[in-house]
Amino acid sequence: MSVAVARPRASWAEPVRLLAARTGTLGIVEMQKLRSDYTELFTRMVQPVLWLLVFGQIFSRIRAIPTGDLSYLAYLTPGILAQSALFVSIFYGIQIIWERDAGILTKVMVTPTPRAAIVMAKAFAAGLRGLAPVVVLVPVALLLGVGITLNPLKLIAAAIALMLSAGFFSCLSMAIGGVAQTRDRLMGIGQLMTMPLFFASNALYPIEIMPTWLQVISQVNPLTYLVNALRGLLVGAPANLWTDFAVLVGAAVLGIIGAASLMGKLVR
Amino acid sequence: MTAAAVECTGLVHRFGETVAVDHLDLRIQAGEVFGLLGPNGAGKTTTIRVLNTLLPVQEGSVRVFGLDVGRRATDVRRHLGYVPQQLSIEAALTGRQNVTWFARLFDVPRGERADRVDEVLDAMDLLAVADRRAGSYSGGMIRRLELAQALVNRPALLVLDEPTVGLDPIARAGVWERVRQMRTDYGMTVLLTTHYMEEADELCDTVALMHHGRLQTVGSPAELRAGIGPDATLEDVFRRYAGAGFDDHGTEGVRNVRRSRTTARKLG
Protein backbone atom coordinates (compact mmCIF):
# COMPACT_ATOMS: atom_id res chain seq x y z
CA MET A 1 0.00 0.00 0.00
CA SER A 2 1.19 3.52 -0.74
CA VAL A 3 0.38 6.76 0.99
CA ALA A 4 -2.31 8.49 -1.05
CA VAL A 5 -0.76 11.90 -1.55
CA ALA A 6 -0.83 11.62 -5.36
CA ARG A 7 -2.73 14.52 -6.85
CA PRO A 8 -4.52 14.57 -10.21
CA ARG A 9 -2.49 15.98 -13.09
CA ALA A 10 -2.52 19.78 -13.26
CA SER A 11 -4.12 21.68 -16.15
CA TRP A 12 -2.20 22.82 -19.23
CA ALA A 13 -1.91 26.30 -17.68
CA GLU A 14 0.06 25.01 -14.68
CA PRO A 15 3.42 24.71 -16.52
CA VAL A 16 3.04 28.30 -17.75
CA ARG A 17 2.25 29.52 -14.22
CA LEU A 18 5.21 27.56 -12.84
CA LEU A 19 7.55 28.98 -15.47
CA ALA A 20 6.45 32.58 -14.79
CA ALA A 21 6.39 32.28 -10.99
CA ARG A 22 9.75 30.50 -10.73
CA THR A 23 11.45 32.84 -13.19
CA GLY A 24 10.19 35.72 -11.04
CA THR A 25 11.45 34.14 -7.82
CA LEU A 26 14.87 33.26 -9.21
CA GLY A 27 15.08 36.67 -10.88
CA ILE A 28 14.54 38.31 -7.47
CA VAL A 29 17.35 36.16 -6.02
CA GLU A 30 19.65 37.25 -8.84
CA MET A 31 18.83 40.91 -8.11
CA GLN A 32 19.40 40.40 -4.37
CA LYS A 33 22.83 38.93 -5.15
CA LEU A 34 23.62 41.82 -7.47
CA ARG A 35 22.51 44.37 -4.86
CA SER A 36 24.72 42.79 -2.20
CA ASP A 37 27.88 43.75 -4.10
CA TYR A 38 28.06 46.51 -6.70
CA THR A 39 31.80 46.08 -7.27
CA GLU A 40 31.27 43.83 -10.26
CA LEU A 41 29.00 46.35 -11.98
CA PHE A 42 31.48 49.20 -11.48
CA THR A 43 34.44 47.20 -12.79
CA ARG A 44 32.44 46.20 -15.85
CA MET A 45 31.88 49.86 -16.70
CA VAL A 46 35.59 50.63 -17.09
CA GLN A 47 36.53 48.52 -20.11
CA PRO A 48 33.90 49.88 -22.55
CA VAL A 49 34.84 53.44 -21.65
CA LEU A 50 38.49 52.64 -22.43
CA TRP A 51 37.48 51.20 -25.79
CA LEU A 52 35.65 54.39 -26.66
CA LEU A 53 38.24 56.81 -25.28
CA VAL A 54 41.36 55.04 -26.60
CA PHE A 55 40.44 52.83 -29.55
CA GLY A 56 37.59 55.07 -30.71
CA GLN A 57 39.51 58.33 -30.64
CA ILE A 58 42.60 56.90 -32.32
CA PHE A 59 40.64 55.26 -35.13
CA SER A 60 38.62 58.46 -35.58
CA ARG A 61 41.86 60.25 -36.40
CA ILE A 62 43.13 57.56 -38.76
CA ARG A 63 39.89 57.81 -40.79
CA ALA A 64 40.58 54.33 -42.17
CA ILE A 65 37.11 52.86 -41.70
CA PRO A 66 34.30 54.02 -44.01
CA THR A 67 31.23 54.78 -41.85
CA GLY A 68 29.09 56.86 -44.24
CA ASP A 69 27.43 59.89 -42.68
CA LEU A 70 28.30 58.87 -39.13
CA SER A 71 31.50 59.86 -37.33
CA TYR A 72 33.57 56.85 -36.30
CA LEU A 73 32.81 57.52 -32.62
CA ALA A 74 29.04 57.54 -33.37
CA TYR A 75 29.52 54.34 -35.39
CA LEU A 76 31.57 52.70 -32.67
CA THR A 77 29.48 53.56 -29.57
CA PRO A 78 26.66 51.03 -30.30
CA GLY A 79 29.34 48.48 -31.21
CA ILE A 80 31.03 48.92 -27.82
CA LEU A 81 27.68 48.59 -26.02
CA ALA A 82 27.06 45.33 -27.91
CA GLN A 83 30.59 44.15 -27.12
CA SER A 84 30.00 44.79 -23.40
CA ALA A 85 26.81 42.71 -23.47
CA LEU A 86 28.75 39.89 -25.15
CA PHE A 87 31.71 40.01 -22.75
CA VAL A 88 29.46 40.17 -19.66
CA SER A 89 27.36 37.18 -20.64
CA ILE A 90 29.60 34.77 -22.55
CA PHE A 91 31.18 33.43 -19.34
CA TYR A 92 27.85 33.06 -17.53
CA GLY A 93 28.03 29.29 -17.78
CA ILE A 94 30.91 29.41 -15.30
CA GLN A 95 28.51 30.73 -12.69
CA ILE A 96 26.05 27.91 -13.26
CA ILE A 97 28.85 25.33 -13.02
CA TRP A 98 30.00 26.98 -9.80
CA GLU A 99 26.43 26.74 -8.45
CA ARG A 100 26.38 23.08 -9.47
CA ASP A 101 29.65 22.45 -7.61
CA ALA A 102 28.32 24.31 -4.56
CA GLY A 103 25.14 22.18 -4.52
CA ILE A 104 22.86 25.21 -5.02
CA LEU A 105 21.78 24.23 -8.54
CA THR A 106 21.14 20.64 -7.43
CA LYS A 107 18.95 21.83 -4.60
CA VAL A 108 16.92 24.13 -6.84
CA MET A 109 16.45 21.33 -9.36
CA VAL A 110 14.86 19.18 -6.66
CA THR A 111 12.13 21.83 -6.19
CA PRO A 112 9.14 22.05 -8.55
CA THR A 113 10.99 24.48 -10.81
CA PRO A 114 11.15 24.12 -14.60
CA ARG A 115 14.71 24.04 -15.98
CA ALA A 116 13.74 26.87 -18.34
CA ALA A 117 12.95 29.12 -15.34
CA ILE A 118 16.48 28.65 -13.98
CA VAL A 119 17.90 29.57 -17.39
CA MET A 120 15.56 32.54 -17.89
CA ALA A 121 16.41 34.01 -14.49
CA LYS A 122 20.12 33.75 -15.28
CA ALA A 123 19.53 35.29 -18.72
CA PHE A 124 17.63 38.14 -17.02
CA ALA A 125 20.54 38.70 -14.63
CA ALA A 126 22.98 38.68 -17.56
CA GLY A 127 20.73 41.24 -19.27
CA LEU A 128 20.84 43.53 -16.22
CA ARG A 129 24.62 43.25 -16.08
CA GLY A 130 24.76 43.91 -19.82
CA LEU A 131 22.91 47.18 -19.24
CA ALA A 132 25.34 48.45 -16.61
CA PRO A 133 27.93 49.89 -19.07
CA VAL A 134 25.20 52.04 -20.65
CA VAL A 135 25.08 54.18 -17.52
CA VAL A 136 28.65 55.36 -18.07
CA LEU A 137 29.20 54.85 -21.78
CA VAL A 138 26.28 56.98 -23.00
CA PRO A 139 27.28 60.11 -21.00
CA VAL A 140 30.92 59.67 -22.08
CA ALA A 141 29.82 59.35 -25.72
CA LEU A 142 27.66 62.48 -25.37
CA LEU A 143 30.66 64.37 -23.92
CA LEU A 144 32.73 63.25 -26.92
CA GLY A 145 30.13 64.82 -29.21
CA VAL A 146 28.27 61.66 -30.28
CA GLY A 147 24.65 62.55 -31.10
CA ILE A 148 22.84 59.85 -29.11
CA THR A 149 19.06 60.09 -29.05
CA LEU A 150 17.37 61.01 -25.80
CA ASN A 151 14.00 59.71 -27.00
CA PRO A 152 12.88 57.50 -24.06
CA LEU A 153 11.08 54.99 -26.29
CA LYS A 154 14.19 54.46 -28.40
CA LEU A 155 16.34 54.16 -25.27
CA ILE A 156 13.97 51.55 -23.83
CA ALA A 157 13.98 49.63 -27.12
CA ALA A 158 17.80 49.73 -27.10
CA ALA A 159 17.83 48.41 -23.52
CA ILE A 160 15.50 45.56 -24.54
CA ALA A 161 17.77 44.69 -27.47
CA LEU A 162 20.79 44.65 -25.15
CA MET A 163 19.00 42.44 -22.61
CA LEU A 164 17.82 40.01 -25.30
CA SER A 165 21.35 39.65 -26.66
CA ALA A 166 23.00 39.33 -23.26
CA GLY A 167 20.32 36.75 -22.45
CA PHE A 168 21.11 34.82 -25.63
CA PHE A 169 24.86 34.82 -25.07
CA SER A 170 24.42 33.74 -21.44
CA CYS A 171 22.16 30.88 -22.61
CA LEU A 172 24.78 29.90 -25.18
CA SER A 173 27.36 29.87 -22.39
CA MET A 174 25.11 27.81 -20.08
CA ALA A 175 24.37 25.34 -22.89
CA ILE A 176 28.10 24.91 -23.50
CA GLY A 177 28.51 24.54 -19.72
CA GLY A 178 26.12 21.57 -19.87
CA VAL A 179 28.50 19.89 -22.31
CA ALA A 180 31.84 21.16 -20.97
CA GLN A 181 30.97 20.29 -17.33
CA THR A 182 33.97 22.05 -15.77
CA ARG A 183 34.81 25.73 -15.25
CA ASP A 184 38.28 25.38 -16.77
CA ARG A 185 36.94 23.87 -19.98
CA LEU A 186 34.21 26.47 -20.26
CA MET A 187 36.71 29.28 -19.69
CA GLY A 188 38.78 27.97 -22.62
CA ILE A 189 35.77 27.55 -24.89
CA GLY A 190 34.45 30.99 -23.93
CA GLN A 191 37.74 32.63 -24.82
CA LEU A 192 37.80 30.67 -28.08
CA MET A 193 34.34 32.00 -28.99
CA THR A 194 34.48 35.60 -27.83
CA MET A 195 36.90 37.04 -30.35
CA PRO A 196 35.38 35.34 -33.45
CA LEU A 197 31.91 36.49 -32.36
CA PHE A 198 33.17 40.04 -31.84
CA PHE A 199 35.36 40.39 -34.92
CA ALA A 200 32.87 38.60 -37.20
CA SER A 201 30.31 41.32 -36.51
CA ASN A 202 29.85 44.92 -37.55
CA ALA A 203 30.75 46.26 -34.09
CA LEU A 204 34.04 47.87 -35.21
CA TYR A 205 33.74 48.08 -39.03
CA PRO A 206 31.08 47.65 -41.72
CA ILE A 207 30.33 44.21 -43.09
CA GLU A 208 30.96 45.47 -46.64
CA ILE A 209 34.72 45.74 -46.11
CA MET A 210 35.02 42.16 -44.79
CA PRO A 211 36.20 39.26 -46.98
CA THR A 212 33.24 37.25 -48.35
CA TRP A 213 33.65 34.29 -45.98
CA LEU A 214 33.61 36.63 -42.98
CA GLN A 215 30.54 38.42 -44.35
CA VAL A 216 28.68 35.09 -44.41
CA ILE A 217 29.60 34.41 -40.77
CA SER A 218 28.62 37.92 -39.69
CA GLN A 219 25.17 37.48 -41.27
CA VAL A 220 24.42 34.55 -38.94
CA ASN A 221 26.00 36.23 -35.93
CA PRO A 222 23.31 37.63 -33.55
CA LEU A 223 25.79 40.32 -32.43
CA THR A 224 25.52 41.91 -35.90
CA TYR A 225 21.75 42.30 -35.47
CA LEU A 226 22.20 43.79 -32.00
CA VAL A 227 24.68 46.34 -33.37
CA ASN A 228 22.31 47.16 -36.26
CA ALA A 229 19.41 47.69 -33.85
CA LEU A 230 21.48 49.86 -31.50
CA ARG A 231 22.82 51.98 -34.37
CA GLY A 232 19.31 52.46 -35.72
CA LEU A 233 17.86 53.36 -32.33
CA LEU A 234 20.66 55.37 -30.75
CA VAL A 235 22.50 57.21 -33.53
CA GLY A 236 19.90 57.18 -36.32
CA ALA A 237 21.72 54.87 -38.73
CA PRO A 238 19.55 53.08 -41.33
CA ALA A 239 18.27 49.83 -39.78
CA ASN A 240 15.65 47.15 -40.29
CA LEU A 241 14.47 46.99 -36.69
CA TRP A 242 11.80 44.32 -37.28
CA THR A 243 14.39 41.93 -38.69
CA ASP A 244 16.91 42.80 -35.98
CA PHE A 245 14.43 42.23 -33.14
CA ALA A 246 13.03 39.06 -34.78
CA VAL A 247 16.55 37.60 -34.89
CA LEU A 248 17.30 38.65 -31.29
CA VAL A 249 14.01 37.24 -29.93
CA GLY A 250 14.43 34.04 -31.97
CA ALA A 251 18.03 33.61 -30.77
CA ALA A 252 17.00 34.18 -27.13
CA VAL A 253 14.17 31.61 -27.36
CA LEU A 254 16.45 29.04 -29.01
CA GLY A 255 19.13 29.76 -26.40
CA ILE A 256 16.69 29.21 -23.52
CA ILE A 257 15.45 25.93 -25.00
CA GLY A 258 19.00 24.72 -25.67
CA ALA A 259 20.38 25.65 -22.26
CA ALA A 260 17.33 24.25 -20.41
CA SER A 261 17.56 20.93 -22.23
CA LEU A 262 21.26 20.58 -21.38
CA MET A 263 20.91 21.67 -17.75
CA GLY A 264 20.05 18.19 -16.50
CA LYS A 265 23.47 16.99 -17.71
CA LEU A 266 25.15 19.34 -15.26
CA VAL A 267 23.83 17.55 -12.17
CA ARG A 268 24.18 13.96 -13.39
CA MET B 1 1.27 -3.69 5.97
CA THR B 2 2.03 -0.01 6.63
CA ALA B 3 2.16 2.68 3.96
CA ALA B 4 5.25 3.24 1.79
CA ALA B 5 6.89 6.61 1.32
CA VAL B 6 9.34 5.19 -1.22
CA GLU B 7 9.15 1.99 -3.26
CA CYS B 8 12.01 0.99 -5.55
CA THR B 9 11.53 -2.15 -7.60
CA GLY B 10 14.30 -3.61 -9.75
CA LEU B 11 16.08 -0.26 -10.00
CA VAL B 12 19.12 -0.36 -12.25
CA HIS B 13 21.28 2.66 -13.06
CA ARG B 14 24.31 2.59 -15.29
CA PHE B 15 26.98 5.15 -16.08
CA GLY B 16 28.25 3.86 -19.40
CA GLU B 17 29.46 0.31 -18.82
CA THR B 18 29.48 0.63 -15.03
CA VAL B 19 26.45 -0.51 -13.08
CA ALA B 20 26.06 1.93 -10.17
CA VAL B 21 22.76 0.52 -8.87
CA ASP B 22 22.05 -3.12 -9.55
CA HIS B 23 18.45 -4.39 -9.30
CA LEU B 24 17.65 -2.55 -6.08
CA ASP B 25 14.42 -3.33 -4.25
CA LEU B 26 13.79 -0.90 -1.42
CA ARG B 27 10.79 0.05 0.64
CA ILE B 28 10.73 2.98 3.05
CA GLN B 29 7.73 3.15 5.36
CA ALA B 30 5.97 6.47 5.80
CA GLY B 31 7.06 8.27 8.96
CA GLU B 32 10.27 6.33 9.61
CA VAL B 33 13.89 7.47 9.65
CA PHE B 34 15.64 5.33 7.07
CA GLY B 35 19.43 5.16 6.86
CA LEU B 36 21.09 4.22 3.58
CA LEU B 37 24.62 3.12 4.42
CA GLY B 38 27.53 1.78 2.47
CA PRO B 39 31.12 2.53 1.51
CA ASN B 40 32.00 5.22 -1.02
CA GLY B 41 30.83 4.14 -4.47
CA ALA B 42 28.22 1.73 -3.09
CA GLY B 43 25.42 3.43 -5.07
CA LYS B 44 23.77 5.38 -2.24
CA THR B 45 24.04 8.81 -3.84
CA THR B 46 22.93 7.46 -7.23
CA THR B 47 19.87 5.91 -5.57
CA ILE B 48 19.04 9.19 -3.83
CA ARG B 49 19.54 11.12 -7.05
CA VAL B 50 17.14 8.84 -8.92
CA LEU B 51 14.42 9.11 -6.32
CA ASN B 52 14.76 12.87 -5.96
CA THR B 53 14.41 13.17 -9.79
CA LEU B 54 17.93 14.38 -10.58
CA LEU B 55 18.72 11.21 -12.53
CA PRO B 56 16.32 9.44 -14.91
CA VAL B 57 14.87 6.03 -14.06
CA GLN B 58 16.70 3.87 -16.61
CA GLU B 59 15.31 0.51 -15.56
CA GLY B 60 12.86 -0.59 -12.89
CA SER B 61 10.32 1.49 -11.06
CA VAL B 62 10.54 4.16 -8.34
CA ARG B 63 7.52 5.56 -6.58
CA VAL B 64 7.49 8.33 -4.00
CA PHE B 65 4.19 8.44 -2.11
CA GLY B 66 2.62 6.53 -4.97
CA LEU B 67 3.88 8.95 -7.63
CA ASP B 68 5.93 7.51 -10.48
CA VAL B 69 9.25 9.39 -10.32
CA GLY B 70 9.87 8.98 -14.06
CA ARG B 71 6.49 10.34 -15.11
CA ARG B 72 5.46 12.76 -12.37
CA ALA B 73 8.79 14.39 -11.48
CA THR B 74 7.33 17.85 -10.75
CA ASP B 75 4.66 16.37 -8.45
CA VAL B 76 7.27 14.25 -6.66
CA ARG B 77 9.41 17.35 -6.04
CA ARG B 78 6.52 19.06 -4.24
CA HIS B 79 6.82 16.44 -1.48
CA LEU B 80 10.60 16.60 -1.08
CA GLY B 81 12.99 18.50 1.12
CA TYR B 82 16.64 17.96 0.19
CA VAL B 83 19.90 18.80 1.90
CA PRO B 84 22.91 17.90 -0.28
CA GLN B 85 26.36 17.07 1.00
CA GLN B 86 27.85 20.44 -0.01
CA LEU B 87 27.24 23.67 1.88
CA SER B 88 24.70 25.01 -0.55
CA ILE B 89 23.54 28.41 0.63
CA GLU B 90 23.74 31.77 -1.12
CA ALA B 91 26.39 33.44 1.02
CA ALA B 92 25.55 36.92 -0.29
CA LEU B 93 21.94 36.71 0.96
CA THR B 94 20.69 36.88 4.55
CA GLY B 95 19.46 33.76 6.32
CA ARG B 96 15.88 34.97 5.94
CA GLN B 97 16.31 35.64 2.21
CA ASN B 98 17.77 32.15 1.75
CA VAL B 99 14.69 30.54 3.32
CA THR B 100 12.13 32.89 1.73
CA TRP B 101 13.48 32.01 -1.68
CA PHE B 102 12.71 28.33 -1.07
CA ALA B 103 9.28 29.13 0.37
CA ARG B 104 8.46 30.80 -2.94
CA LEU B 105 9.87 27.92 -4.98
CA PHE B 106 7.51 25.61 -3.09
CA ASP B 107 4.46 27.87 -3.50
CA VAL B 108 4.02 28.53 0.21
CA PRO B 109 1.02 30.92 0.05
CA ARG B 110 1.99 34.59 0.20
CA GLY B 111 -0.14 35.22 3.32
CA GLU B 112 1.60 32.45 5.26
CA ARG B 113 5.09 32.88 3.87
CA ALA B 114 6.61 35.27 6.41
CA ASP B 115 5.23 33.30 9.37
CA ARG B 116 6.37 29.98 7.92
CA VAL B 117 9.88 31.33 7.29
CA ASP B 118 10.08 32.65 10.86
CA GLU B 119 8.76 29.34 12.19
CA VAL B 120 11.49 27.22 10.59
CA LEU B 121 14.19 29.77 11.39
CA ASP B 122 13.02 29.71 14.99
CA ALA B 123 12.95 25.90 15.03
CA MET B 124 16.58 25.93 13.84
CA ASP B 125 17.56 28.62 16.42
CA LEU B 126 18.41 31.08 13.68
CA LEU B 127 15.72 33.70 14.16
CA ALA B 128 18.02 36.08 16.05
CA VAL B 129 20.57 36.06 13.22
CA ALA B 130 18.06 35.81 10.36
CA ASP B 131 18.95 39.21 8.92
CA ARG B 132 22.69 38.61 8.91
CA ARG B 133 24.42 37.55 5.71
CA ALA B 134 24.55 33.75 5.55
CA GLY B 135 28.23 34.01 4.56
CA SER B 136 28.99 35.06 8.14
CA TYR B 137 27.40 31.93 9.69
CA SER B 138 29.40 29.10 11.26
CA GLY B 139 29.35 25.60 9.69
CA GLY B 140 26.70 24.31 12.10
CA MET B 141 24.52 27.38 11.50
CA ILE B 142 24.79 26.91 7.73
CA ARG B 143 23.65 23.30 8.05
CA ARG B 144 20.71 24.41 10.19
CA LEU B 145 19.89 27.09 7.62
CA GLU B 146 19.88 24.41 4.91
CA LEU B 147 17.52 22.36 7.05
CA ALA B 148 15.27 25.40 7.39
CA GLN B 149 15.25 25.73 3.58
CA ALA B 150 14.40 22.05 3.19
CA LEU B 151 11.67 22.15 5.83
CA VAL B 152 9.89 25.37 4.89
CA ASN B 153 7.43 23.51 2.65
CA ARG B 154 6.81 20.86 5.37
CA PRO B 155 7.99 18.05 3.10
CA ALA B 156 6.55 14.58 3.39
CA LEU B 157 10.02 13.17 2.63
CA LEU B 158 13.22 14.80 3.86
CA VAL B 159 16.34 13.58 2.06
CA LEU B 160 19.66 14.24 3.82
CA ASP B 161 22.88 13.33 2.02
CA GLU B 162 25.59 13.14 4.71
CA PRO B 163 24.28 16.24 6.48
CA THR B 164 26.74 16.12 9.37
CA VAL B 165 29.96 15.58 7.44
CA GLY B 166 32.64 17.94 8.77
CA LEU B 167 30.59 19.18 11.73
CA ASP B 168 31.92 19.09 15.28
CA PRO B 169 30.07 16.79 17.74
CA ILE B 170 28.03 19.62 19.27
CA ALA B 171 26.90 20.93 15.89
CA ARG B 172 26.08 17.36 14.78
CA ALA B 173 23.98 16.80 17.86
CA GLY B 174 22.24 20.12 17.20
CA VAL B 175 21.35 19.12 13.64
CA TRP B 176 19.94 15.74 14.67
CA GLU B 177 18.03 17.14 17.60
CA ARG B 178 16.21 19.49 15.23
CA VAL B 179 15.56 16.81 12.60
CA ARG B 180 14.03 14.62 15.31
CA GLN B 181 11.90 17.51 16.56
CA MET B 182 10.60 18.38 13.09
CA ARG B 183 9.86 14.72 12.44
CA THR B 184 7.83 14.55 15.66
CA ASP B 185 6.03 17.79 14.84
CA TYR B 186 5.19 17.02 11.22
CA GLY B 187 5.39 13.23 10.97
CA MET B 188 7.62 13.31 7.92
CA THR B 189 9.72 10.47 6.54
CA VAL B 190 13.48 10.96 6.67
CA LEU B 191 15.94 9.28 4.30
CA LEU B 192 19.57 9.88 5.16
CA THR B 193 23.03 8.72 4.27
CA THR B 194 25.85 8.92 6.76
CA HIS B 195 29.25 7.43 7.43
CA TYR B 196 28.81 7.79 11.19
CA MET B 197 27.57 4.37 12.32
CA GLU B 198 26.77 5.48 15.86
CA GLU B 199 24.56 8.19 14.39
CA ALA B 200 22.69 5.71 12.20
CA ASP B 201 22.33 3.34 15.16
CA GLU B 202 20.82 6.02 17.34
CA LEU B 203 18.63 7.81 14.81
CA CYS B 204 17.37 5.29 12.28
CA ASP B 205 14.33 3.05 12.59
CA THR B 206 15.57 1.06 9.61
CA VAL B 207 19.00 0.75 8.05
CA ALA B 208 19.85 -0.58 4.58
CA LEU B 209 23.40 -1.44 3.64
CA MET B 210 24.48 -1.17 0.01
CA HIS B 211 27.66 -2.44 -1.59
CA HIS B 212 28.62 -2.59 -5.28
CA GLY B 213 25.21 -1.17 -6.17
CA ARG B 214 23.32 -3.99 -4.47
CA LEU B 215 21.29 -4.10 -1.32
CA GLN B 216 23.21 -6.33 1.11
CA THR B 217 20.91 -6.25 4.11
CA VAL B 218 18.06 -4.27 5.59
CA GLY B 219 16.46 -4.14 9.05
CA SER B 220 16.34 -2.23 12.29
CA PRO B 221 19.78 -1.47 13.79
CA ALA B 222 18.99 -3.89 16.66
CA GLU B 223 18.10 -6.71 14.26
CA LEU B 224 21.21 -6.18 12.19
CA ARG B 225 23.45 -6.10 15.26
CA ALA B 226 21.81 -9.22 16.67
CA GLY B 227 22.43 -11.00 13.36
CA ILE B 228 26.20 -10.60 13.84
CA GLY B 229 26.56 -11.40 17.54
CA PRO B 230 25.61 -10.38 21.07
CA ASP B 231 28.09 -7.49 21.42
CA ALA B 232 28.15 -6.43 17.78
CA THR B 233 27.96 -2.79 16.76
CA LEU B 234 26.57 -1.35 13.55
CA GLU B 235 30.17 -0.86 12.47
CA ASP B 236 30.63 -4.64 12.67
CA VAL B 237 27.58 -5.05 10.48
CA PHE B 238 29.10 -2.56 8.03
CA ARG B 239 32.39 -4.50 7.97
CA ARG B 240 30.60 -7.81 7.46
CA TYR B 241 28.69 -6.65 4.39
CA ALA B 242 30.98 -4.00 2.91
CA GLY B 243 34.26 -5.73 3.69
CA ALA B 244 37.22 -4.26 5.53
CA GLY B 245 39.49 -3.98 2.49
CA PHE B 246 39.95 -1.16 0.01
CA ASP B 247 37.15 -0.69 -2.48
CA ASP B 248 38.16 -0.29 -6.12
CA HIS B 249 34.63 -0.52 -7.50
CA GLY B 250 31.95 2.08 -7.99
CA THR B 251 31.43 5.20 -10.04
CA GLU B 252 30.99 7.90 -7.46
CA GLY B 253 33.98 7.28 -5.24
CA VAL B 254 36.29 10.09 -6.30
CA ARG B 255 33.45 12.57 -6.75
CA ASN B 256 31.94 11.74 -3.37
CA VAL B 257 35.20 11.84 -1.48
CA ARG B 258 36.13 15.15 -3.12
CA ARG B 259 32.73 16.58 -2.21
CA SER B 260 32.99 15.41 1.41
CA ARG B 261 36.50 16.78 1.76
CA THR B 262 35.52 20.12 0.27
CA THR B 263 32.60 20.40 2.66
CA ALA B 264 34.71 19.36 5.64
CA ARG B 265 37.41 21.88 4.68
CA LYS B 266 34.87 24.71 4.42
CA LEU B 267 33.51 23.82 7.82
CA GLY B 268 36.99 23.99 9.28
SS3 call for B23:
strand
Q: Can you give the pLDDT at residue A164?
A: 96
The rounded distance, in Å, linking the Cα atoms of A46 and A104 is: 31
Q: Can you give the pLDDT at residue A109?
A: 94
SS3 call for B246:
coil
Q: Residues B90, B98: contact at Cβ < 8 Å? A: yes
Q: Can you give the pLDDT at residue B256?
A: 56
User: Given pLDDT bands bounded at 50, 70 and 90, which one contains residue A9?
Assistant: low
Of A18, A29, A268, the CB nearest to B55: A268
Query: Are B3 and A21 an interchain contact pair (Cβ–Cβ within 8 Å)?
Result: no
A–B CB contacts, 8 A cutoff, strictly below: 106
Q: For chain A, what is the HEC assignment?
A: CECCCCCCCCCCHHHHHHHHHHHHHHHHHHHHHHHHCCHHHHHHHHHHHHHHHHHHHHHHHHCCCCCCCCCHHHHHHHHHHHHHHHHHHCCHHHHHHHHHHCCHHHHHHCCCCCHHHHHHHHHHHHHHHHHHHHHHHHHHHHHCCCCCCCCHHHHHHHHHHHHHHHHHHHHHHHHHHHHHCCHHHHHHHHHHHHHHHHHCCCCCCCHHHCCHHHHHHHHCCHHHHHHHHHHHHHCCCCCCHHHHHHHHHHHHHHHHHHHHHHHHHHCC
Query: Are B54 and A5 an interchain contact pair (Cβ–Cβ within 8 Å)?
Result: no
Of A4, A25, A111, the CB nearest to B77: A111
Mean pLDDT lowest among A67-71, A146-150, A200-204: A67-71
Q: Residues B80, A110: contact at Cβ < 8 Å? A: yes
Average pLDDT per consecutive 10 residues, chain B (268 residues; last block may be shorter) = 85 92 95 92 91 94 95 93 89 96 95 95 93 92 92 93 82 83 86 89 93 93 91 89 60 55 54
Model pLDDT for residues A180-229, shown as the tens digit of each residue:
889 999 999 988 889 889 999 999 999 999 999 999 999 999 999 999 99
Q: Would you say how long chain A is, in residues?
A: 268
Chain A environment of B77 (Cβ under 8 Å):
110-113
Of A1, A106, A111, the CB nearest to B3: A1
Nearest CA-CA distance, residue A166 and chain B, Å: 23
User: Given pLDDT bands bounded at 50, 70 and 90, which one contains residue A173?
Assistant: very high
CA A15, A21, A22: angle at the middle one, nearest 5?
A: 85
Of B4, B53, B88, the CB nearest to A103: B88
pTM of structure: 0.87
Q: Can you give the pLDDT at residue B92?
A: 92
If one counts every other C-beta atom within 10 angstroms of the C-beta of residue B230, the result is 6
The rounded distance, in Å, linking the Cα atoms of B207 and B234 is: 10
Average pLDDT of every residue of chain A: 90
Q: Can you give the pLDDT at residue B245?
A: 52
Of B5, B66, B86, the CB nearest to A6: B66
- Among B71, B104, B152, B161, which would you mutate to test the A interface (most chain A Cβ atoms within 10 Å of its Cβ)? B104
Task: Quote the distance between the C-alpha of residue A80 and its chain's center.
Answer: 13
Query: Are A268 and B133 an interchain contact pair (Cβ–Cβ within 8 Å)?
Result: no
Query: Are B82 and A33 an interchain contact pair (Cβ–Cβ within 8 Å)?
Result: no
Query: Are A36 and B149 an interchain contact pair (Cβ–Cβ within 8 Å)?
Result: no
Q: Can you give the pLDDT at residue B174?
A: 82
Query: Are A112 and B77 an interchain contact pair (Cβ–Cβ within 8 Å)?
Result: yes
**Is this complex scored with an ipTM above 0.90?**
no
CA B26, B28, B31: angle at the middle one, nearest 5?
A: 175
